[in-house]
Amino acid sequence: MDKTHLEKRGFTLLEILLVVAAIAILAGIVIVAINPSKQLAETRNAQRRVDVETVLSGVYQYAIDNSGSLPGTIITSATCTSTAGTGICKGGACVGGTDLSALTLNQKYLTALPTDPTTIGTATGTGYFISKSNFGRITVCAPQAEQAAYISATR
């Protein structure tokens, strides 16, 4: 037998390094294409949209049960976003905000007031705002929306 048939066949170090480099490049492209921070921000914005609709529905269910009267703590304001007194409080000690604890009393309309995904852990605010127009229309908004989104609902 000659020597060429007895040699071991395998991969050279250069071939292994080229494969590892190709895998790293493909992984980098996939991570950039998926963009996890954008996906997480979109998920938080989706939660905000649901929360805004939940609060608005609770307010209107309250009004239906109370002959059209809205909770008396909702102030009349031209805008919803960050206007003094329009921030929805978590309940309990509500100073300088809108107390909607009537909605959560005995869990009749809401089991709890929703909290903005990025403000979890704050003492009093929910991160959502509510206002009433001069014509009695209610607007609930989420001013902390990400990616330049404007999240608001009016009825």
- One DSSP character per residue, 47-73 reads HHHHHHHHHHHHHHHHHHHTTTPPPTT
Q: Answer yes or no: is 116 within a domain.
A: yes
Q: Is 109 a member of any domain?
A: yes
Q: Whole-prediction pTM value?
A: 0.78
- Residue 151: how many other CB atoms lie within 10 Å: 22
Residue 10 covered by a domain:
no
Domain containing 51 equals 37-154
Tell whether 24 is covered by a domain: no
* 48-89 pLDDT tens trace: 999 999 999 999 999 999 999 999 889 898 888 777 778 998
Is 22 among the domain residues?
A: no
Q: How many domains does the chain have?
A: 1
In a domain, 7, yes or no: no
Task: Answer whether residue 30 is part of any domain.
Answer: no
